[in-house]
């Protein structure tokens, strides 16, 4: 019996141009800087920073999608994710399905069919990195892992946005453990909606990266920062350790096997 390790093929590809790298990592640095600023400010500046974080982070991931997978991937990803998220958010805010009864405030800026424009961009921000992670962990169960990943990310986001008054819930039935302001129906809705979106993206979008383009390093940094900032922010700035626990453990449970497989490869046991 022997165990052989291998490096994933994608890491032998040539990297980005210097211009592409500057664009991608400048956007990522701006995202990190804005998120560091977030717990330190208040009032109108906080509102502006909240919206700016989402747009900047989504541009970071869209830039990675373009530089790594090409224009076809980017255009399909934009159309599918934006349309899906806008539709499910509009249905959700009007009917209460699948997330539960909630209401957006006017502090999130311009609304499109009753949904703040920044909300579909939040989906655009996370669906791409979660799709990459899910495809790497299990091509056969990508939709399930992807839905779980989006659901787990929302466990970080929803309590923070509710506390800031960006939207509000009508609690009917059980709430998320250690998150009394968030109904459990929202978590179920994100799992269901996330599975649906990731299933479509996995079916439609190209799987191979360009021979010359961005690696997955920016995505890995983004996911690691999402976990780190979510835990640190809730523990030391927002004083909500329950959020850090409930969201941090499952998010870490996704990232650890991904980093193991991505960097060490799956062993072939003969």
pLDDT the model gives residue 82:
98
Q: Longest C-alpha distance within the chain, in Å?
A: 64
pLDDT of 39-68, one tens digit each?
999 999 999 999 999 999 999 999 999 999
Using 50, 70 and 90 to split pLDDT, how confident is the model at 14?
confident
Closest listed residue to residue 77, CA positions, set 204, 221, 223: 204
pLDDT at 109: 94
pLDDT of residue 270 exceeding 60, the answer is no
Q: How far apart are CA 194 and CA 250, in angstroms?
A: 15
Confidence category of residue 263, pLDDT binned at 50, 70, 90:
confident
Q: How many residues does the chain have?
A: 270
Strands (E), the chain: 3-4, 102-104, 111-112, 115-116, 167-169, 175-176, 179-183, 268-269
ω into 137 cis (within 30 of 0): no
- Helix segments in 173-240, DSSP class H: 184-204, 217-232
Average predicted confidence (pLDDT) for the chain? 93
- The structure tokens listed for 244 are 């850090």
Residue 10 has pLDDT above 70, yes or no: no
Q: What's the token pair of residue 264?
A: 């060490």
C-alpha distance from residue 83 to each of 114, 147, 164, 195 (Å): 14, 17, 27, 15
pLDDT one-digit tens code per residue, 114-125: 899 999 999 999
Domain residue spans of the chain:
16-264
Distances (CA, A) of 109 to 32, 102, 262: 22, 17, 38
Alpha carbon of 100 to those of 86, 185, 265: distances in Å? 16, 6, 40
Dihedral sign (CA 29, 26, 158, 104): positive
In 3-state terms, what secondary structure has residue 270?
A: coil
Q: Give yes or no for a contact between 217 and 16, defined as CB atoms under 8 angstroms apart.
A: no
- Confidence (pLDDT) at 265: 74
Average pLDDT over residues 186-204: 98
Q: Which residues make Cβ contacts (< 8 Å) with residue 95, sequence separation at least 6?
A: none
Q: 138-192, pLDDT tens digit by residue? A: 999 999 999 999 999 999 999 999 999 999 999 989 999 999 999 999 999 999 9
């Amino acid at each position: 019996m022997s165990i052989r390790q291998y490096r994933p093929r994608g890491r032998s590809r040539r990297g980005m141009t210097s211009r592409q790298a500057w664009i991608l990592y400048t956007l990522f640095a701006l995202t990190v800087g804005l998120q560091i600023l977030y717990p330190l400010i208040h009032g109108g500046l906080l509102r502006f920073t909240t919206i700016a974080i989402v747009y900047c982070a989504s541009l970071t991931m869209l830039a990675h999608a373009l530089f790594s997978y090409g224009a076809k991937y980017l255009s399909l990803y934009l159309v599918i994710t934006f349309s899906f998220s806008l539709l499910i958010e509009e249905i959700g805010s009007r009917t209460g399905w699948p997330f539960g009864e909630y209401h957006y405030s006017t502090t999130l800026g311009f609304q499109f069919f009753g949904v703040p424009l920044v909300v579909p961009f939040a989906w655009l921000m996370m669906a791409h990195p979660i799709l990459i992670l899910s495809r790497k962990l299990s091509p056969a169960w990508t939709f399930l892992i992807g839905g779980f990943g989006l659901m787990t990310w929302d466990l970080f986001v929803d309590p923070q946005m509710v506390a800031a008054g960006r939207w509000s819930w009508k609690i009917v039935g059980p709430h998320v453990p250690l998150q009394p302001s968030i109904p459990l129906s929202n978590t179920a809705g994100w799992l269901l909606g996330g599975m649906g979106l990731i299933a479509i993206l996995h079916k439609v979008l190209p799987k191979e990266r360009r021979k010359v383009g961005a690696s997955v390093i920016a995505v890995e940094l983004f996911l690691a920062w999402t976990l780190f900032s979510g835990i640190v922010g809730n523990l030391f700035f927002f004083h909500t350790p329950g959020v850090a626990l409930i969201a941090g453990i499952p998010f870490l449970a996704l990232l650890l096997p991904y980093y193991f497989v991505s960097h060490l490869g799956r062993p072939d046991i003969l």
